[in-house]
Structure 1
Amino acid sequence: MTDGTDQAFEQLLENCADEPIQYPGAIQPHGVLMTLSEPGFEVRQVSRNVGALLGLEAAQVLGKTLTAVIGQRVAKAVRQAVEAGTLDELTPIPMKVHGTEFEGFLHRHQGLLILEMEVRPRSVGDQQAHLSRLLQRLQAAKSLDELYEASVREIQRMTGYDRVLIYRFEEQGHGQVMAEASSPGMELFKGLFFPASDIPPQARQLYQSNWLRIIPNAAYQPVPLVPTLRPDTQTPLDLSFATLRSVSPIHCQYMQNMGVLSSMSISLLKGGKLWGLISCGHRQPLHVPSEMRSACKTIGQVLSLQISALESLQLAAQREEKLQTLHQLGEAMAANAGSVFDGLAENAQVLMDLVGAGGVAIIDGTQLRTAGVCPSAQQVRDLHQWITAQARPVFASHALSSIYPQAGDFCALASGVLAFTLPKPIDNGVLWFRPEVKETINWSGDPSKPLQLEPSENGLRLRPRTSFEIWKVEMEGISRPWGHGDQFAANDLRRSALEFDLARQVLKEQAAVRARDELVAVVSHDLRNPMTVISMLCGMLQKSFSSDGPNASRRITSAISTMQQATSRMNVLLDDLLDTSRIEAGRYTIAPQPLDVSHIFEEAYTLLAPLALNKSVELSFHAEPGLVIHADPERLFQVLSNLIGNAIKFTPAEGRVGVVAMSDGEQIVFSVRDTGKGIPAEQLPHVFDRYWTAREGNPSGTGLGLYISQGIIQAHGGVMQAASEPGQGSEFRFTLPKPGV
């Protein structure tokens, strides 16, 4: 075709996909359809064949009551069905009008009551016996293939159709015939693929909404509705749920091209979505009675459930067969002293067998190890960078070049890739490769141009395929797809690798903490002895020079005093470092015992009152009478000394520092409040951080006192908090549980 014809073809194909098949404006001729108002049951629209089937022309019916059209007895049965709420399209109302037996079907849609009177076909056989046998066969099936085969054979036997197919939709939209039961002389379609355009989206939506669709004679002449539009809305009547709905003329021609004149489709649903169809076809016109259709609807529902159940079992089996290999790889990762990737690299063949790959690449930082058939090292690294950018824990594609064009350079080696990465700061991951498979798919027709053009009175129009010859389509750049079991295995292996990797990191961090603690302990021990010696010698020198009286050198005595102060500060720093190490390691221990708070306060006053007096700061203590706590006396005194000492240090002369202890419910609250300049709001959240030395006038502090104090209180099961308002002072509060609580 020329470019212009190609464009016309594409436009017509798009129009076909957009065909409003739910608004045909006509019905099939094997019945009469009318719309009724409620509650008067007056006829608003009717099919033009009402004269041939009911003996009244459309003009005589419109605006009349249903009773006037079909008689009082039959109309009463319709009204009773409406009042009973049993509007089921496959629960017919027996009718006899104008000498013809009908089956009446009712449904409501878009505010209208729609009545279909279908000419009753001749009943065939015992449907209940057929249905019972078929359901037993379906329940006994042990595999999907067995289920498909039993279904098509029994449905053909029950319905009498020349051909019964089970047709499954694939992810890409096209479908495949999974099973077939056909009469001799019928063209066979089992295993063939049908293009997605054979069943356009709006048709699939109707299949999803309706369990059944029947066409007794594809060579019929559509019967138009009178009037064409709904009188109340002046819009086409939506016949989505009408059994008599006229179908697309393209579909009718399609059926005849396939050698059938009548058909019935039974929808198969999975998870509320259209999974596939049971498609029945007959070379001659065939009108299946309603009881048969009701049985087929039940079959469709049961088969849908069975397919879902067996597919779930199939997926579980795919997972089960991977578990032993996953366990073997897990042991390899755990046993290797290096990284998890070292353990996998040592078992590369097992790793490839896990997912049926032809090659595997393992990336761990700058190290790249490959096995089997793989692209070049640079191609692997470039691909890995691209996959990492996709931000998926597990990535899978069996048509890599379609989404990563660079893969066209190595599609023979790796048209498919399955990969995972771990959340680590270095490049890492496992990439499995599958080579290109020149996969030949048997298409029933050309998937790219499923319809043809033919001349008509109005120019070109679409004509359904007249040839169903097998087309051989080579799929370039396609590998064997990664199945559910493969992707499950990749996800599970990634989970195991992540767990082992995190465990290694934790062990390394624990070892580092232990090494640090041991180093701090050794340094503390090794430094404390010389510090003690230096302090003693400084004392002896100080005493010796003091005996010289006025002749002693002031510079020497000052230097000795400075050395004593530095030695004392270094001892405090060593104690703080040991405490900090224990707190961070979660090994800070206390030795609690019953303590009288008033006695603790007396000791604190004795020690700290001189410091307060030296700065002219008023220091007061108040404890609730008889207050007893359960605490480590040395550690609690350390906390109080730190808090009160800081309060005195940062409170100006003539200021006040108050210490209070009171009972509050199930806990005892200690408070140290001062009238100093306070702590800036931006610094307050950080006062318990390690090495916090932001307070002005504290250049000599280690910055660990509050951090250690908080750790001591937490070890007692309490909480420490700070509050401050610049210019108004600060308050540090901590709680301790009451004894026995």
Structure 2
Amino acid sequence: MNKKNFDSDFCGSLPLHQINMIQSYGYLLVLEREDLKIIQASENANEILGLAVQQLVRTSFRDYITKEEADNLYFKFQTDIIEKVPLPLTIKTEGYTGRFVAIAHVKNGYLILEIEKAGEENSFLNVFQELKYVMAEINRSESASQASSVVVHQLKKLSGFDRILMYKFDEDWNGTVIAEVKEDDMDAYLGLKFPASDVPRQARNLYLKNPYRLIPSRDYTPVKLYPVINPVSQAFIDLSDCNLRAVAGVHLEYMKNMKISASMSIRVIRNDKLWGLISCHHRSPKYLSYEVCSVFELLSSVISNKIASIENKEFFQYTSALQEKKSRLIGNTYSYLNLSEGLLNQDINVADLFNAKGAVLTFKGTTSRIGDVPDEEDLKNLIYWLQSKGDEEVYSSRNLPGEYEQAASYQEKVSGILSIPIDAEKGEYLIVFRPEVITTVTWGGNPEEAVRFEADRQKYHPRNSFSAWQEIVSQTSLPWTEQELEVAESLRSFIFEFTTKHLKN
């Protein structure tokens, strides 16, 4: 099934960094670095600073906070700090005093301050105590699925969200729900797969900058900045790494279709790449203070480290097992000084190495076979096709019939192929085959309807339904792993060296 790739073709090109408004649960100020003058402000800043935004611009932020806080802000950001830094603020205006947290961003020529009301200290301490228990539970987990189950259940206790789920991205950035806890009367998503366009490419990139994304209410009124154009850059200000950044309309519609009013997403990182997301849903508006969000940010690091530890251990164990099998194959080949004997006819063979059901070696006019492989005429045509591709590197596919039409006639025993060229011009290859594995994928809604366009093909809407929608996937094998492809490449190098040095005649 060839799905429409909304993730790259459309959704992935939306300019989220150009959203020039903020959510209404906080306030945004842009300051000159040298004198802390306000050069841009969100239009709701009058709520805490006491002046209309037009009057605030060009005043000094020093006038609204204590001298100690102003000096601290100034001196901290005369350096080249690039990380976002939280700072406590006490804002005092005529007849008003308030405690706030400011998240400060250093930009080229100016500072961005995201300002939120400070939470209650006791609340923060209580949550932090609970967090220590959650961390201990996560660290006791022995698998990624067990760690994921622990974190969603404990996060629900800490936050009170109606539903929390963890989903893991696959190689195509579709997300599968691997853990879920929810209120009894909510739809279940456990085991469902969601298309990549639900969290499109540019949104995923933002999670590498921002540990979490909070939307306390989908029905908020966006707050504009004044002036609209940043006076330093002479362009829209880039709010892509701001927690307060306004939400794209299509995502608010997506939330409405999901029947939720508030959401929070927390990243899970493995080896500097986005592994998955913890997604929190609430049916009514729900705000979490910056302090509590910071606890969740810390928890994101804990679960990320644990999953990385578990999966890296599995990765290295599997890699070690592959290398051990490859070494035995190489040893056998040197013992017999014969490729066919060493790779196909011993107690371990190349099909065992690659978890395949069949293998073929075509070399010096002879074809050797083991296991389930195409018949002689089909094999000859397949090799002609491989030659026509002109590949001198390892070639792999888990959907051979989708790339080579004639393979559909024998897809049951051969849907996956891993081809190692020995001398492609002569039609000499080492090829291993995997059989078809028919799978049923249950999607959260029809992936072909992930995006619904209006008549002008410009405006679009997310799907209305997240009900289970099943797809039967055929003509595919188990995927070839990163480690297997690396071993195949090293085996190609060995075969080249072996044939060059030991089989000259």
The bucket for the TM-score relative to the shorter chain is 0.7 to 0.9
**How far apart are the structure 1 equivalents of 2:351 and 2:20?**
59
In the alignment, what sits opposite 1:428?
428
**CA–CA separation in structure 1 for the residues paired with 2:224 and 2:181:** 36
Distance in structure 1 (CA, Å) of the matches to 2:205 and 2:312? 25
Distance across 1 between alignment mates of 2:315 and 2:371:
28
Aligned to 1:44: 39
Q: Give the unaligned 5+ runs of structure 1.
A: 1-8, 509-741
Shift, 1:90, TM fit: 5.5
- Is residue 2:347 matched to residue 1:355? no
Matches within 5 A, 1:196-595: 196-322=196-322, 325-326=325-326, 329-330=329-330, 332-336=332-336, 339-347=338-346, 350-387=349-386, 389-422=389-422, 427-453=427-453, 461-484=459-482, 486-487=484-485, 490-491=488-489, 494=492, 501=499, 504-505=502-503
Deviation, structure 1 residue 271: 3.5
The alpha carbon displacement at 1:341 in A equals 0.9
Task: Return closer, same or farther for 1:331/1:89 CA change in 2, 3 Å cut-off.
Answer: closer
Q: Is the 8 A contact 2:8 2:201 kept in 1?
A: no
Q: 1:82 to 1:386 in 2, by over 3 A?
A: farther
Q: Which amino acid aligns with 1:372?
A: G
What residue number does 2:132 align with?
Answer: 132
Matched-pair contact (CA < 8 Å) for 1:127–1:295: yes
Conserved 8 A contact 1:180-1:190: yes
**Aligned positions of 1:135-150 closer than 5 A:** 135-150=135-150
2:86 corresponds to: 91
Change (3 A) 1:108 1:431: same
Q: Does 1:174 align with 2:174?
A: yes
User: SS of the residue aligned with 2:459?
Assistant: strand
CA distance in 1 between partners of 2:464 and 2:138 (Å): 35
1:119 to 113, 117, 127: 117
* Counterpart AA for 2:69: A
**Residues 73-100 of structure 1: CA distance to partner in whole angstroms, max 9, x if unpaired?**
2x65144223134786462313244354
3-state SS in 2 of match to 1:266: strand
Matching residue's letter, 1:394 = V
CA separation in 1, counterparts of 2:425 and 2:464? 60
Q: Which has the higher helix share?
A: 1
Q: CA deviation at 1:44?
A: 1.8
Q: Work out the CA distance in 2 between the residues paired with 1:78 and 1:412.
A: 71
One-letter identity of the residue aligned with 1:183: E
User: What letter is aligned with 1:364?
Assistant: F
Number of matched pairs: 493
| Secondary structure of the corresponding residue to residue 421 of structure 1 | strand
CA distance in 1, matches of 2:386, 2:347: 21
Structure 2 regions of 5+ residues with no counterpart? none
Preserved contact between residue 87 and residue 106 of structure 1 (Cα < 8 Å): no
Deviation at 1:417, TM superposition (A): 0.3
Secondary structure of the 2:382 match is helix
Query: Is the contact made by 2:340 and 2:368 (CA closer than 8 Å) also made in structure 1?
Result: no
Q: Distance in 2 between matches of 1:266 and 1:65?
A: 35
Query: Could you state the TM-score of these two structures normalised by the residue count of structure 2?
Result: 0.86
Contact 2:90 2:99 in 1 (8 A): yes
Q: Please tell me whether the aligned partners of residues 84 and 106 of structure 2 are also in contact (alpha carbons under 8 angstroms).
A: no
The DSSP-based 3-state class of the residue aligned with 1:430 is strand
Task: Give, in angstroms, the shift of residue 141 of structure 1.
Answer: 2.7
* Residue 161 of structure 1: aligned partner: 161
Identity of paired residues, percent?
A: 28
Task: Return the TM-score normalized by structure 1.
Answer: 0.60
- Secondary structure at the residue paired with 1:33? strand
Aligned-pair distance for 1:145? 2.3
C-alpha distance 20-343 of structure 1, shift in aligned 2 (>3 A):
closer
| Distance in structure 2 (CA, Å) of the matches to 1:305 and 1:392 | 39
Matching residue's letter, 1:452: R
1:238 aligns to what SS in structure 2?
A: coil
Corresponding residue for residue 728 of structure 1: none
Q: Conserved in 1, the CA contact under 8 Å of 2:88 and 2:99?
A: no
Which AA in structure 2 matches 1:93? P
- Report the counterpart of residue 59 of structure 2 in structure 1: 64
Q: Over alpha carbons, which structure has the higher Rg? A: 1
The amino acid across from 1:383 in the alignment is L
Q: Give the Cα separation in 1 of the matches to 2:412 and 2:306.
A: 39
In the alignment, the residues of structure 1 paired with residue 232 and residue 350 of structure 2 have an alpha-carbon distance, to the nearest angstrom, of 68
